Amino acid sequence: VPKRIGKNINIALTGASGRMGLAIQELSAAQTFTVTQRIQRSADWRKIKTIDLVIDFSSPEGFREALQWCVQHKVRLLSGTTGLSSSDHKALKQAAKRIPVLYSANMSLGIAVLTRLLEGLAQIKDWDFQIEEVHHRAKKDSPSGTALSLQHKLVQVLGRELPSPLAVRGGGVPGIHQIWAFGPDESLTLQHTAFNRKVFAQGALSGARWLFDKKEPGLYDLSDLYLKP
């Protein structure tokens, strides 16, 4: 049994019965986290007593409810929910003026590193680019939040618009993301594959511990935690 290190953190977990919710609960027991409240519907917010932090892996609606509750009660929020609208992202920025918020469409170390690697593609900015992602058949949003976030970064690096990411759905794939770069006589492919959901759940818990120690309001992502500037 892994050693429990540090102060216990009481969390409210939205989407507790979902795929990510279950993965987080499986890991949290051994890591000084106590899931004090499982949030599956709006009424569950009324039952919350004392918590240190909210972890949200639910739906855009669940995200909005969590954000509103956290701002009202001045509680830190870690969210990995995707499929958010541009007004949700605006609300996230507004909320981050009042509470510490960590949001990442992908909680894995590999995607944080891949996002940073995209800066190197400025060297081949005239090439053709295409992002492609593969996910399990039950995934609700398309293209994935990760593909959109990689696209956002790549557009910044290249300084021009790109074709929309392609989405493939099937089976139980937790997540594959690929960036194709095509030159006239050669191509370059960057790919990240998540083998299981544990990688996202562990990222979320490491992020939650980091956020728990954060005093200042602000909008953080996993690069703040994983990567050196």
Ligand X SMILES: NC(=O)c1ccc[n+]([C@@H]2O[C@H](COP(=O)([O-])OP(=O)(O)OC[C@H]3O[C@@H](n4cnc5c(N)ncnc54)[C@H](OP(=O)(O)O)[C@@H]3O)[C@@H](O)[C@H]2O)c1
Q: Give the residue with the Cβ less far from ligand X, 113 or 122.
A: 113
Q: How far is the CB of 93 from ligand X (least distance, A)?
A: 18
E strands present in the chain: 9-14, 33-39, 53-56, 76-79, 100-103, 128-135, 166-169, 176-182, 187-193, 218-220
If the CB atoms of residues 61 and 213 are measured against ligand X, the closer one turns out to be: 61
Neighbours of 172 (CB within 10 A): 10
Annotation says 135 is catalytic = yes
Contact residues for ligand X (CB under 6 A)? 14-15, 17-21, 39-41, 57-59, 61-62, 65, 80-83, 104-107, 141, 145, 200
Per the annotation, the verdict on 3 as an active-site residue is: no
Please provide the DSSP assignment of 103-120 as one string: E-S---HHHHHHHHHGGG
In the complex, minimum distance from the CB of residue 84 to ligand X, in angstroms, rounded to a whole number: 8
Tokens at residue 5, please?
A: 């290190």
Which residues are 181's β-sheet partners?
Answer: 129, 188
> Which C-beta is closer to ligand X: that of 28 or that of 106?
106
- Find the catalytic residue in 49, 139, 153, 228: 139
Choose the catalytic residue: 135, 140, 152, 198: 135
Distance CA 152, CA 157 (A): 9
Cβ-based nearer residue to ligand X, 11 or 39:
39
The secondary structure of the chain in percent helix, strand, coil, rounded to multiples of 5, reads 40, 25, 35
**CA neighbor of 178 nearest in space, from 123, 129, 226:** 129
Residue 39 CA to residue 44 CA, distance in Å, equals 5
The secondary structure element, H or E, covering residue 24 is helix 19-28
For ligand X, which residue has the nearest CB?
18
**Residue 27 or residue 188: which is nearer to ligand X going by CB?**
27
Q: Which residues are known catalytic residues?
A: 135, 139
